[in-house]
Amino acid sequence: MVLPRLKLEKRPPPTLKMKVAAAIGSIALALLFSSILIVQAGVNPLVGYFHLFYGALGDKLSLTETFVRFCPLALTGVACAIAFLCKFWNIGAEGQLYAGGLAATFFGISFLGAPSYLIIPLMTISGFLGGAFWAFIPAALKTRWKVDEVVTTLLGNWIIYFITGAILYGPWQNPVTKWPESPAISEAAKLPILIPGTRFHLGIVLALIVVLIYLVIYWGTAWGYELKAIGANPEASYSMGIKVERNMVLAAILSGGIAGLAGAFEVNGLNFHMKLDLSHGYGYTGIVIAMLGGLHPVGVALAAFFMAIIVTGTQAMHRVTGVPFPLSEVIQGLSLICLLLGNFLTEYRVRRVVE
């Protein structure tokens, strides 16, 4: 038997259309693979997915809930995208989210008498700074000592998680219930609810503004150009006169800060106190979102919304059909894996060699 010989042929650089097709195709493929798992749970995948999408988009309440998830996901997505743009592999949005949450909570529970117009900006800024600080450390280690940022940001996620644990079981522990959660922030510190009767809070709008800011940086500024150049070829960028290290640290700080905002808004927009499961892996989902969105601001926003649907919808699917909710993470991971396949197919054409 003669096996067909396959050959790879490089295609011309992929167009925007092909990139979008790859992203959408990979999501579809991920859902297809996941349906095997839904069958395993004894549920018709079509029924399962119906409940998933209905539960995320079906009515006003579920739609606003999806937006509530969109807030941290858009922020971590943008955070990862900015860092990835200059090839600073910040895998630490999860940890930076916690750092931001801790910093914001500190002010939120310390100045109980402060009025909204003071305490909300204060929490926002401190959330930003907390996350920025947590990203600054690996950035400094990378530029100063060439320590790989992938490992340090990953380890950083766990370090801040353990610190959070130590604080929540220590000084902030609820003295009555002994729950590992901080005291509640004041009423004044809570973000205003924009749609009465739902949890649609101001943070969602602020997250959209952050996406817009990223759009401006990406599209119109010299700094965005510098980041792209550094990401594409740091050595050439340096010899052309771009301040590679400084820009990388700045991008890391901005990236961490934005992830920190996600933490702050989760505290004062949604939970009103700091808790151990403040993030449901949003920092990692941010990586998937950034990649699915092709690091492009519009792409990131759309990918974040899609992931928000998945996160919200799997909960609904779980409630209605009993398909376990960890399916959400499976879909996220599969989307990323399938995207790699999709990107490959936009770059190469697989041909049978005719002998």
Nearer residue to other proteins within complex by CB, 191 or 278: 278
CA neighbor of 246 nearest in space, from 260, 263, 267, 230 = 230
Instruction: For residue 178, count other CB atoms closer than 10 A to its CB.
Output: 9
Minimum distance, C-beta of residue 11 to other proteins, in the bound complex (Å):
11
Q: Which stretch binds other proteins (CB under 8 A): 44-52, 99-107, 115-123, 140-148?
A: 140-148
What DSSP assignment string belongs to 250-281?
HHHHHHHHHHHHHHHHIIIIIISS-BTTS-SS
Which of 3, 12, 113, 352 touches other proteins (CB under 8 A)?
12
Q: Is residue 157 close enough to count as binding other proteins by CB under 8 A? A: yes
Listed ranges 126-134, 157-165, 183-191, 252-260: which one lies at the site for other proteins (CB under 8 A): 157-165
The answer to whether residue 326 forms part of the interface with other proteins (CB under 8 A) is yes
Nearest Cα to Cα of residue 45 among 327, 306, 308, 309: 327
Pattern of binders to other proteins over 93-132, x per CB under 8 A? ----------------------------------------
Using CB under 8 A as the binding rule, whether residue 175 contacts other proteins is answered as no
Q: Would you count residue 232 as binding other proteins (CB under 8 A)?
A: yes
Asked whether position 135 contacts other proteins by CB under 8 A, the answer is no
Nearer to other proteins, 61 or 341 (CB): 341
Minimal distance, residue 343 CB to other proteins, in Å: 7
CA distance 134 to 129: 9
Side chain identity at residue 244, one-letter code: V
Residue 78 Cβ vs other proteins, minimum distance, rounded to whole Å: 17
CA distance linking residue 101 with residue 313, whole number of Å = 25
Cα–Cα dist 189/201, whole Å: 12
| 3 state DSSP class of 10 | strand
Stretch that binds other proteins, among 104-112, 119-127, 187-195, 230-238 (CB under 8 A): 230-238
Distance CA(89)–CA(84), nearest Å, equals 6
Is residue 284 within 8 A of residue 94, CB to CB? The reply is yes
Measured CA to CA, the distance from residue 352 to residue 348 in angstroms comes to 13
Is residue 334 part of the contact set for other proteins (CB under 8 A)?
yes
What number of residues does the chain have? Answer: 355
The residue (of 101 and 156) whose beta carbon lies closer to other proteins is 156
Stretch touching other proteins by CB under 8 A, among 33-41, 59-67, 185-193, 259-267: 33-41
- Contact between 295 and other proteins by CB under 8 A: the answer reads no
Is 25 one of the binding residues for other proteins (CB under 8 A)? no
Complex with other proteins: residue 209 or 240, whichever CB lies closer: 240
Provide, rounded to whole angstroms, the least separation between the CB of residue 259 and other proteins: 16
Minimal distance, residue 110 CB to other proteins, in Å: 21
CA distances from 199 to 102, 117, 193, 194, 355 (A): 22, 20, 6, 8, 64
Task: Report the site for other proteins in 200-229 (rule: CB under 8 A).
Answer: 220-223, 225, 228-229
- Compute the distance between CA of residue 49 and CA of residue 314 in angstroms, rounded to an integer: 9
Residue 287 contacts other proteins per CB under 8 A: yes
Structure tokens at 289: 């979102």
209 burial level (CB within 10 Å; 0-12, 13-18, 19+)? exposed
Shortest gap between Cβ of 290 and other proteins (angstroms)? Answer: 10
Per-residue binding string, other proteins, 43-82, x by CB under 8 A, is ----------------------------------------
Position 277 contacts other proteins (CB under 8 A): no
> Which CB, 112 or 245, lies closer to other proteins?
245
Determine, following the binding rule CB under 8 A, whether residue 327 of this chain makes contact with other proteins: yes
How many residues of this chain bind other proteins (CB under 8 A)? Answer: 71
Q: What's the CA gap between 173 and 109, in Å, rounded?
A: 13
Burial of 17 (0-12, 13-18, 19+ CB in 10 A): exposed
